[in-house]
Amino acid sequence: GQQLNQSPQSMFIQEGEDVSMNCTSSSIFNTWLWYKQDPGEGPVLLIALYKAGELTSNGRLTAQFGITRKDSFLNISASIPSDVGIYFCAGGNTGNQFYFGTGTSLTVIP
Amino acid sequence: DTGVSQDPRHKITKRGQNVTFRCDPISEHNRLYWYRQTLGQGPEFLTYFQNEAQLEKSRLLSDRFSAERPKGSFSTLEIQRTEQGDSAMYLCASSLVGRNGYTFGSGTRLTVV
Chain A, window 8-67: residues with a beta carbon less than 8 angstroms from a chain B beta carbon: 31, 33, 35, 40-45, 48, 50
- Is pLDDT at A86 greater than 60 in this prediction? yes
- Is pLDDT at B101 greater than 90 in this prediction? no
- Answer whether B45 sits within 8 Å of A44, measured CB to CB: no
Would the CA dihedral through B18, B23, B29, B32 be positive or negative? Answer: negative
- Is pLDDT at A1 greater than 70 in this prediction? no
Which chain B residue has its CA at the smallest distance from A5's CA?
Answer: B42
Q: What is the structure's pLDDT at B99?
A: 65
Which chain B residue has its CA at the smallest distance from A96's CA?
Answer: B56
Higher pLDDT, residue A3 or B46: B46
B97 vs A contacts (CB less than 8 Å): 95
A6 vs B contacts (CB less than 8 Å): 42
DSSP state for residue A96 in the 8-state scheme: S
Give the confidence band of B72 by pLDDT, cuts at 50, 70, 90: confident
Give the confidence band of A93 by pLDDT, cuts at 50, 70, 90: confident
DSSP-based three-state secondary structure for B83: coil
Q: From its phi and psi, is residue B63 left (phi > 0), alpha (psi between -120 and 50) or beta? A: alpha
Give the confidence band of B94 by pLDDT, cuts at 50, 70, 90: very high
Across the range A32-56, mean pLDDT stands at 94
Q: What is the structure's pLDDT at B7?
A: 97
Which chain A residue has its CA at the smallest distance from B92's CA?
Answer: A42
- Answer whether A97 sits within 8 Å of B98, measured CB to CB: no
CA A100 to chain CA centroid, nearest Å: 10
- Is pLDDT at A46 greater than 80 in this prediction? yes
Whether the CB of A90 is below 8 Å from some CB of chain B: the reply is yes
Q: What is the structure's pLDDT at B71?
A: 87
- Residue among A17, A18, A37, A57 at smallest CA distance from A102: A37
Strands (DSSP E) found in A1-110:
5-7, 10-14, 19-24, 31-37, 44-49, 55-58, 61-65, 71-76, 85-92, 98-100, 104-109
Whether the CB of A103 is below 8 Å from some CB of chain B: the reply is yes
A36 vs B contacts (CB less than 8 Å): none
